[in-house]
């Protein structure tokens, strides 16, 4: 029996929602019926996105949140719940990269990548889980947490040692949290996207080096942001009640 993915009745907090994948997930979740807390540091962009979603008949609120700062994470959840009610779903998407050879990268920069990508994802997931444990009985199996990692979690991306280390940490952290919270009615899963066409990588993939890399992919193409939507929405929905602790690679075969 075919079922349409619906997020009606769900309150979803998305970090890194001001651009890129976070913005894409927000639009897709809104279209599926979710009420959204859009979290990031750039609140001007969030407010514009929230207004766009509300003009289309959805419900969204902009939430100031710096995932490197625990007080900011807590305050962001407080703001989201005042506006929407209890948060039952989290997409921990905020992240950054820093390109450079391991021998050259500054320790402060290495630590900054870990702070955003790994520690930030942990604080986002933990604060969400704490609130889900308080707001929903474990028997409801209501909680959903999706961590966004990367194919860099399980393969080397040259010049991205900090990024790969942080995303590998996210993948194992997701499995650990899934095990710890399995009897608390919270599902935790990880998605590992491959290379996606963005403004940031357009110049690289137009260069000779980028064309050579692209030619090495089995399908010789980049993914689009919307290609991730069906899996992410499924993991947030009621349909995924038996799915937890999964690390799902979504890369169009790029790592084959």
Determine contact, residues 149/174, Cβ cutoff 8 Å. yes
CATH number for the region 11-198+226-249 comes to: 3.40.50.720
Task: Record the pTM.
Answer: 0.96
Determine the Cα–Cα distance for residues 15 and 87; give it in Å rounded to an integer.
Answer: 13
The kind and range of the H/E element at 205 are helix 202-206
**pLDDT > 90: percent of the chain:** 91
Domain boundary assignment for the chain: 11-198+226-249
Alpha carbon of 8 to those of 2, 51, 185: distances in Å?
18, 19, 19
> Tell me: the pLDDT tens digits for 170-228?
999 999 999 999 999 999 999 999 999 876 677 888 899 889 999 999 999 999 999 99
Is the pLDDT at 72 greater than 50? The verdict is: yes
- For Cα atoms 175, 177, 181, give the angle at the middle one, nearest 5 degrees: 120
pLDDT of residue 181: 98
Is the pLDDT at 1 greater than 60? The verdict is: no
Structure tokens at 239: 């349909």
Catalytic residues: 163
């Amino acid at each position: 029996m075919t079922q349409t993915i619906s997020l009606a009745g769900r309150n979803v907090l998305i970090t890194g929602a001001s651009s890129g994948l976070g913005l894409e997930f927000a639009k897709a979740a809104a279209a599926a019926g979710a009420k959204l807390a859009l979290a990031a540091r750039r609140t001007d962009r969030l407010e514009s996105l929230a207004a766009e979603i509300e003009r289309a008949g959805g419900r969204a609120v902009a939430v100031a949140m710096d995932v490197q700062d625990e007080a900011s994470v807590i305050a962001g959840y407080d703001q989201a719940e005042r506006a929407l009610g209890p948060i039952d779903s989290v997409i921990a998407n905020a992240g950054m990269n820093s390109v450079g050879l391991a021998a050259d990268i500054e320790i402060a920069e290495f630590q900054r990548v870990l702070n955003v990508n790994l520690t930030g994802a942990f604080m986002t997931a933990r604060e969400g889980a704490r609130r889900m444990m308080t707001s929903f009985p474990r028997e409801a199996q209501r909680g959903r947490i999706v961590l966004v990692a990367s194919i860099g979690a399980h393969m080397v991306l040259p010049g991205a040692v900090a990024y790969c280390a942080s995303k590998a940490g996210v993948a194992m952290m997701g499995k650990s949290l899934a095990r710890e919270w399995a009897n608390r009615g919270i599902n935790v899963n990880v998605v590992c996207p491959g290379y996606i066409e963005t403004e940031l990588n357009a110049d690289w993939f137009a260069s000779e080096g980028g064309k050579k890399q692209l030619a090495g992919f089995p399908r010789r193409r980049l993914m689009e942001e919307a290609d991730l939507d069906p899996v992410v929405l499924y993991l947030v929905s009621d349909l995924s009640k038996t799915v937890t602790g999964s690390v799902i690679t979504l890369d169009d075969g790029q790592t084959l």
